[in-house]
Amino acid sequence: MIDREHALPVSRQVKLVGIARSSAYYQPQPVSEADLKLMRRIDELHLEHPFAGARMLARLLRREGIQVGRRHVGTLMKRMGIEALYRRPNTSRKHAAHKIWPYLLRDRKIDRANQVWALDTTYIPMARGFVYLTAVVDWASRRVLAYRVAITLESCHAVEAIEEAFAKYGAPEIVNTDQGSQFTATEFTDAVLDRGIQLSMDGKGSWRDNVFVERLWRSVKYEEVYLKAYDSVSHARRSIANYLTWYNQRRPHSSLADQTPDEAYFATLPAIKSAA
C-alpha cells in the first residue's frame, strides 16, 4: 500500500490511505503460541459475554486456571480489534484525526433489501496466527454481499469489499459501520459518500447498535471457524468462502420466517432476480 519509491512523501501517503504514520514503519512481531491460545479463548468469551471488558475477561480466565492480568488481556483485545459492547460516554475515538458520523438507524424501520448495508470486521483464529474477516451485509435479509479475509485491519480491505458490493448490487440508502479506524478513514468514507449514500456509525461500544452483526459473527465462528484449524491464510479464505456461500443459499433464519438470506434478499429485488 505504501510505496517508498514514490515522489509523494510517506507522511502524505499514510494520511491519504487513513493509517497512522507509525504503521508505515512498523515491523510485525510474531505472536507467541501462548498468546495465540489465549486470544482464541478471549474471542470465545467475548462472543458469550460481549459486555465484558478486559478486567472481567481476566477474572473469567483466572477462574479457568489461566493466570493473566487485565492489562495483558486489554493489549490482546486491541490486537484482535474487539472491545466490550456497552454504552458509555464517548471519551475517546478510534482515530483522533477521523470524523465520526452520527447513528441514523434508531427507530428506523428496515424491511427491504438494499435499504441498509452493515460492515464490520471480526478476528478469525487459525492453527497458527490469525486473520480478520470484513463483511458487507444487507441488514434486512442478512445476506453477505461481499467480504475480505486479510492479515491487517487497514481500510483498503473494507474499501475493496464495499466496492465489490456496489459493483454487484448497486447502492443502498445507508451504510452503517462501527467506529473502527478502517471505516472512519477518508479512503472508506469517500467511497460511500461520493455515491450519495448516507453514512451511519454505531455509538462507541453500544451493544444495541452492534447486535445484528454480532449474531452473524456468532454463526460464522460456531458453525465454521471454531470447528476448523486453518493452516494458512489461503485455507481460511477457501473455507470461509464455502461457508458464506452455504450461509447465503442454504441456512434458514427464524427472523426471516425460515427463509435463507438469498431468498429474503432477492424476493424484494425482482429485476435482479429475473436477471440472475
Domain positions in the chain are 18-80, 116-275
Query: Which pTM does this prediction carry?
Result: 0.79
Using DSSP's 3-state secondary structure scheme, residue 137 falls into strand
pLDDT at residue number 20: 56
First to last CA, the chain: 35
pLDDT at residue number 273: 43
Provide φ and ψ at 122, rounded to 5°: -130, 155
Beta bridge partners of 177: 201
Q: Which has more pLDDT, 162 or 5?
A: 162
Residue closest to 61 by CA, chosen among 35, 86, 83, 80: 35
Give whichever of 12-21, 129-138, 207-216 has the largest mean pLDDT: 129-138
Which CATH code of 3.10.180.10, 3.20.20.150, 1.10.510.10, 3.30.420.10 fits the domain covering 116-275?
A: 3.30.420.10
Q: Which has more pLDDT, 214 or 53?
A: 53
pLDDT at residue number 21: 56
Q: Which of 7-21, 53-67, 69-83 has the lowest mean pLDDT?
A: 7-21
- What mean pLDDT is predicted for residues 137-145? 95
Order of strands across the sheet with 144-150?
Answer: 144-150, 130-138, 116-125, 174-177, 198-201
Site of grid cell 501462548: 34
pLDDT, tens digit (0-9, with 9 covering 90-100), for 185-237: 999 999 999 999 999 998 765 555 567 788 899 999 999 999 999 999 999 99
Q: Are 179 and 94 in contact (CB under 8 A)?
A: yes
The pairing of beta strand 130-138 with beta strand 116-125: antiparallel
| Residue 92 to residues 97, 101, 143, 184, 256, Cα–Cα distance (Å) | 11, 14, 32, 14, 37
Beta bridge partners of 138: 117
Q: Are 274 and 266 in contact (CB under 8 A)?
A: no
Beta bridge partners of 259: 253
pLDDT at residue number 228: 92
Please give the share of the chain, as a percent, with pLDDT higher than 70: 80
Number of C-beta neighbours around residue 274 at 10 A: 8
Spatial distance between the Cα atoms of 76 and 94, rounded to a whole number of angstroms: 16
pLDDT over 60 at 276, yes or no: no
Site of grid cell 505504501: 2
Site of grid cell 447502492: 171
